[in-house]
């Protein structure tokens, strides 16, 4: 009976119901979009940070990550690579060898990192290729051709085709030095990285560093990057204790911490939005309920108990909240879905984005149906909760007070 | 023999301001038997509405007690009072006070539905009452589609549909023309006789007062007369 009456009241007060639904729907859509935006920007930050260079999964010799040295390299990475490839979910496996060297050009000398890479595989596991600023990317047959960070090139006053020399140490601790030519200049947006890194094709790099079939790390690209942690765990079991397998969550724990902090601030902002929504809905409901306080008084006078009035008003509130949440949920989900496919583009702000480690000035939203359902549930609960105070307040009036309430 | 309704030493005052208190009722004592058709009369502000509200459990007296068919109403919780009103008392208000979103039929059936009476029985009862009050043609209309007199007839139908033992009507004819007023009182008298329900109504219209079989007169919150007519 009360369910039927609740529907009747909702339909009878069309304007009031429409405003309540609109208010709830806009709030729900806003919450879903904000949530999707926050998750999306974090996702993009992770994607950028991980994909620029460090990779989703790093396999190193045991102890290398804590105390790197030539005695803790991956020797015979070929067989390690073969082992890793047997793990389902692995897409690409690529070796790298990082060494610290002294670069010099003209009168300038700068310490930096010389890295030997497989140019073709590196294209897939990092953004080195897409970060090309000038010149050309490496190919596997390159020899003295160097792919250098823009800031390092600036410090050494180098341009495309210029020569530079390096001195360093081979993996057998022998003296290593050579004269190189700048083939390409890259800019990832990660300042420290751009100021210290330079790359050679690994075959030639191995010949001067005595590092054939040796790598400081092997990078693994999962078929599903979101499952990197699980895949790392499987690889760990496969390769055994001689190696350390770290997912990006372990190699970039500082980034994770900063994102968690950012999430805290994000949730505080959302909390403030919730509080505003809560009070707006509550005040509106208070006005709406008190505009029909006489009717409620009549109901009470002719025998409706306070509990039944509470039930009736809660049913109305729940129905309107449900409708709000469904409409807002659809709108929010559609917008989250749209912007997950067509990310919001901040044209002209690429430089500012690079300062925050974002190599591209677009932010896609995250479209996760379960998160959307969670937000809808939160919003439904919040909307119903916001109507409780007005309902209880009007229910506290005596019937005669309610009938004569002005 | 114990009276159907006993009002003992009822007093009620209203605080209009911090220092201004108005005594609405002063030591009212009244016994009404089952099946009576009683009018409470008196000038405006004499306390008629306050007395009816206290008898109906809509308002609480400062002192005294109301006993309805052996049940002491004073001191009951709001929930219990609601149940007493639902099961034992029918109300007719001066301003009709029909629920605006419900049709005349739904208004008439409302209390029965609260009591848990099944749909078919509600239909039969509302049809029976509507027949008696001549409002069958109005049943599917909303209150705002009815005239004042029609609304009040629906309100009377609502008040008796759930077969209460007592009907309280606060100035039920105040908003009606004299012809409609007399017709309404006649209708209530008919229900009083046919349904056996005790009716107490208030009025200051001599023509309406003359229809009652017993008159209780209030003046300045005091009971000044209590006579059979």
**A301 closest CB neighbour out of B58, B83, B115:** B58
Backbone angles phi, psi at A398, to 5 degrees: -75, 155
Angle at A107 between CA A103 and CA A112, to 5 degrees: 20
Backbone angles phi, psi at A111, to 5 degrees: -75, 145
Sign of CA dihedral A321, A325, A331, A335: positive
Identify whether the C-beta of residue B63 lies closer than 8 Å to the C-beta of residue B10: yes
The reply to whether B127 touches chain A by the CB within 8 Å rule is no
Identify whether the C-beta of residue A109 lies closer than 8 Å to the C-beta of residue A102: yes
DSSP B59: S
Q: Dig out the tokens for A216 from the structure.
A: 């400081």
| Residue A15 pLDDT | 87
Burial class, B180, CB count within 10 angstroms (exposed 0-12 / middle 13-18 / buried 19+): middle
Task: Determine the residue among B53, B54, B58, B113 to mutate to test chain A binding: the one whose Cβ has the most chain A Cβ atoms within 10 Å.
Answer: B58
Chain A residues with CB inside 8 Å of B108's CB? none
Q: Helix (H, G, I), strand (E, B), or coil: what is residue B26? A: strand
Q: Is a pLDDT exceeding 60 seen at residue B97?
A: yes
Return the exposure string of A366-387: e unless at least 16 CB atoms fall within 10 Å of the residue's CB, then b: bbbeebbeebbebbbebbbebb
pLDDT tens digits, B105-151: 999 999 999 999 988 999 999 998 898 888 899 999 999 999 988 99
Question: For B33-119, where are the E strands, in sequence order?
Answer: 37-41, 63-68, 71-72, 89-92
In angstroms, rounded to a whole number, what is the distance separating the alpha carbons of residues B113 and A223?
63
In angstroms, rounded to a whole number, what is the distance separating the alpha carbons of residues A117 and A203?
8
Nearest-CA distance A403 → chain B (Å): 9
Q: Which residues contact A374 (CB under 8 A, 6 or more apart)?
A: none
Q: Which chain B residue lies closest to A400 (C-alpha atoms)?
A: B58
The reply to whether A341 touches chain B by the CB within 8 Å rule is no
pLDDT bracket for residue B45 (50, 70, 90): confident
Q: Dig out the tokens for A393 from the structure.
A: 């307040």
Q: Helix (H, G, I), strand (E, B), or coil: what is residue A77? A: helix
- Percentage of chain B exceeding pLDDT 70: 100
Backbone angles phi, psi at B95, to 5 degrees: -95, 25
In angstroms, rounded to a whole number, what is the distance separating the alpha carbons of residues B33 and A112?
108
Q: Dig out the tokens for A329 from the structure.
A: 């949920």
In angstroms, rounded to a whole number, what is the distance separating the alpha carbons of residues B94 and B77?
26
**A299 closest CB neighbour out of B79, B90, B99:** B99
Determine, for residues A302 and B87 on separate chains, whether the beta-carbon distance falls below 8 Å.
no
In angstroms, rounded to a whole number, what is the distance separating the alpha carbons of residues A390 and A14?
20
Chain B residues with CB inside 8 Å of A8's CB? 101-102
Determine, for residues B82 and A400 on separate chains, whether the beta-carbon distance falls below 8 Å.
no
Q: How do the domains of chain B map onto residue ranges?
A: 35-48+55-61+77-228
List, as ranges, residues 25-64 from B with C-beta within 8 Å of A. Answer: 53, 56, 58-60
Show the low-confidence residues of chain A (pLDDT under 50): none
| Residue A399 pLDDT | 86
Ranges of H-type helices in A13-144: 14-49, 77-85, 119-125
In angstroms, rounded to a whole number, what is the distance separating the alpha carbons of residues A280 and A272?
12
Q: Which residues contact A24 (CB under 8 A, 6 or more apart)?
A: A281, A320, A321, A323, A324, A325, A328, A379, A383
Question: For A145-233, where are the E strands, in sequence order?
Answer: 145-149, 163-169, 175-186, 197-201, 214-215, 217-222
| Residue A34 pLDDT | 87
For residue B8, list its beta bridge partners.
B65
Q: Which residue has the tokens 């109301």?
A: B66
Nearest-CA distance B84 → chain A (Å): 7
Chain B residues with CB inside 8 Å of A307's CB? 79
The reply to whether B100 touches chain A by the CB within 8 Å rule is yes
Chain A residues with CB inside 8 Å of B56's CB? 301
In angstroms, rounded to a whole number, what is the distance separating the alpha carbons of residues A171 and A210?
6
pLDDT bracket for residue B187 (50, 70, 90): confident
Closest CA to B148 of B101, B98, B189: B98
* Neighbour count for residue A138 (Cβ, 10 Å): 24
| Residue A353 pLDDT | 64
pLDDT tens digits, B202-222: 988 888 888 888 999 999 999
Determine, for residues A5 and B114 on separate chains, whether the beta-carbon distance falls below 8 Å.
no
| Residue A357 pLDDT | 53
In angstroms, rounded to a whole number, what is the distance separating the alpha carbons of residues B87 and B92?
15
Chain A residues with CB inside 8 Å of B114's CB? 1, 303-304, 308
Q: Which chain B residue lies closest to A301 (C-alpha atoms)?
A: B58
| Residue A347 pLDDT | 74
Chain A residues with CB inside 8 Å of B110's CB? 302
Q: Starting from the edge strand earliest in sequence, which strands make up the sheet with B5-15, in order?
A: B21-32, B5-15, B63-68, B71-72
Chain B residues with CB inside 8 Å of A295's CB? 99-100
Angle at B165 between CA B163 and CA B168, to 5 degrees: 100
Q: What is the ipTM of this complex?
A: 0.89
Q: Helix (H, G, I), strand (E, B), or coil: what is residue B123? A: helix
Sign of CA dihedral B18, B20, B22, B27: positive
Q: Is a pLDDT exceeding 60 seen at residue B91?
A: yes
Cα B131 vs. chain centroid, distance in angstroms?
21
Closest CA to B205 of B92, B53, B94: B94
Identify whether the C-beta of residue A210 lies closer than 8 Å to the C-beta of residue A38: no
Chain A residues with CB inside 8 Å of B93's CB? 298, 301, 403
In angstroms, rounded to a whole number, what is the distance separating the alpha carbons of residues B184 and B211?
11
In angstroms, rounded to a whole number, what is the distance separating the alpha carbons of residues A6 and B7?
38
Q: Helix (H, G, I), strand (E, B), or coil: what is residue B142? A: coil
Q: Dig out the tokens for A200 from the structure.
A: 């050679």
Angle at A303 between CA B12 and CA B164, to 5 degrees: 90
Q: Dig out the tokens for A161 from the structure.
A: 């085709």
Write the CA distances from A18 to A6, A25, A150, A327, A387, integer angstroms.
15, 10, 58, 12, 16
Quickly count helices (H) and strands (E) in chain B: 7, 10
Identify whether the C-beta of residue A270 lies closer than 8 Å to the C-beta of residue A118: no
List, as ranges, residues 145-204 from B with C-beta within 8 Å of A. Answer: 158, 162
Nearest-CA distance A310 → chain B (Å): 12
Q: Dig out the tokens for A356 from the structure.
A: 């925050």
In angstroms, rounded to a whole number, what is the distance separating the alpha carbons of residues A59 and B76?
77
Nearest-CA distance B141 → chain A (Å): 14
Task: Determine the residue among B97, B109, B145 to mutate to test chain A binding: the one whose Cβ has the most chain A Cβ atoms within 10 Å.
Answer: B97
Question: For A305-379, where are the E strands, in sequence order?
Answer: 344-345, 362-363
Task: Determine the residue among A303, A309, A401, A403 to mutate to test chain B binding: the one whose Cβ has the most chain B Cβ atoms within 10 Å.
Answer: A303
Burial class, A294, CB count within 10 angstroms (exposed 0-12 / middle 13-18 / buried 19+): middle
Nearest-CA distance A9 → chain B (Å): 7
CATH architecture of the domain covering B35-48+55-61+77-228: 3-Layer(aba) Sandwich (3.40)
């Amino acid at each position: 009976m009360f369910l039927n009456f609740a529907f009747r009241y909702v339909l009878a007060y069309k304007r009031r119901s429409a405003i309540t639904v609109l208010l709830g729907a806009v709030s729900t859509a806003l919450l879903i979009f904000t949530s999707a935006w926050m998750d999306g920007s974090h996702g993009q930050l992770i994607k950028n940070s991980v994909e620029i260079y460090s990779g989703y999964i790093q396999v190193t010799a045991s102890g290398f990550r804590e105390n790197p040295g030539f005695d803790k390299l991956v020797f015979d990475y070929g067989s390690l690579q073969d082992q890793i490839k047997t793990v389902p979910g692995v897409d690409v496996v690529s070796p790298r060898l990082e060494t610290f060297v002294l670069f010099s050009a003209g009168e300038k000398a700068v310490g930096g990192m010389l890295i030997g890479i497989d140019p073709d595989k590196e294209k897939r596991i990092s953004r080195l290729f897409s970060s090309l600023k000038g010149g050309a990317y490496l190919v596997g047959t390159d020899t003295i051709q160097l792919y250098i960070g823009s800031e390092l090139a600036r410090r050494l006053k180098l341009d495309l085709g210029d020569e530079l020399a390096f001195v360093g140490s081979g993996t057998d601790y022998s003296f290593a030095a050579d004269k190189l030519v700048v083939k390409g200049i890259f800019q990832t947006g990660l300042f420290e990285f751009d100021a210290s890194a330079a790359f050679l094709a690994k075959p030639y790099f191995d010949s001067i560093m005595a590092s054939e079939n040796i790598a400081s790390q092997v990078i693994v690209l999962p078929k599903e990057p979101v499952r990197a942690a699980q895949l790392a765990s499987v690889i760990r079991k496969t390769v055994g204790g001689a190696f350390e397998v770290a997912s990006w969550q372990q190699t970039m724990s500082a980034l994770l911490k900063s994102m968690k902090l950012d999430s805290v601030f994000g949730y505080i902002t959302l909390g403030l939005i919730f509080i505003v929504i809560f009070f707006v809905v509550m005040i509106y409901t208070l006005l709406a309920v008190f505009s029909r306080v006489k009717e409620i008084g009549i109901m009470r006078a002719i025998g409706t108990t306070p509990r039944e009035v509470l039930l009736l008003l809660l049913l109305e509130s729940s129905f309107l909240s449900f409708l709000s949440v469904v409409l807002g949920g659809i709108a929010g989900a559609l917008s989250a879905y749209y912007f997950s496919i067509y990310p919001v583009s901040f044209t002209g702000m690429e430089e500012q984005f690079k300062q925050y480690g974002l190599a591209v000035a677009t932010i896609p939203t995250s479209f996760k149906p379960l998160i959307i359902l969670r937000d809808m549930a939160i919003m439904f609960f919040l909307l119903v909760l916001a109507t409780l105070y007005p309902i209880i307040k009007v229910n506290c009036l005596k019937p005669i007070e309610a009938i004569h309430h002005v | 023999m114990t009276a159907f309704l006993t009002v003992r030493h009822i007093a009620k005052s209203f605080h209009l301001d911090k220092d201004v208190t108005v005594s609405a009722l002063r030591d009212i004592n009244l016994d009404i038997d089952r099946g009576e058709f009683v009018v409470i009369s008196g000038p405006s502000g004499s306390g008629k509405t306050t007395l009816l509200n206290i008898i109906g459990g809509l308002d609480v007296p400062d002192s005294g007690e109301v006993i309805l068919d052996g049940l002491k109403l004073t001191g009951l919780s709001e929930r219990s009072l609601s149940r007493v009103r639902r099961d034992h008392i029918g109300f007719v208000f001066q301003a009709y006070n029909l629920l605006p979103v419900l049709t005349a039929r739904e208004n008439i059936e409302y209390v029965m539905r609260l009591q848990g009476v099944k749909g078919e029985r509600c239909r039969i009862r509302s049809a029976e009452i509507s027949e008696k009050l001549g409002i069958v043609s109005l049943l599917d209309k909303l209150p705002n589609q009815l005239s004042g007199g029609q609304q009040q007839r629906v309100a009377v139908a609502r008040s008796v549909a759930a077969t209460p033992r007592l009907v309280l009507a606060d100035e039920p004819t105040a908003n009606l023309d004299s012809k409609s007023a007399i017709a309404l009182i006649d209708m209530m008298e008919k229900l009083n006789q046919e349904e056996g329900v005790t009716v107490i109504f208030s009025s200051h219209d001599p023509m309406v007062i003359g229809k009652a079989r017993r008159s209780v007169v209030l003046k300045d919150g005091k009971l000044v007369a209590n006579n059979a007519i």
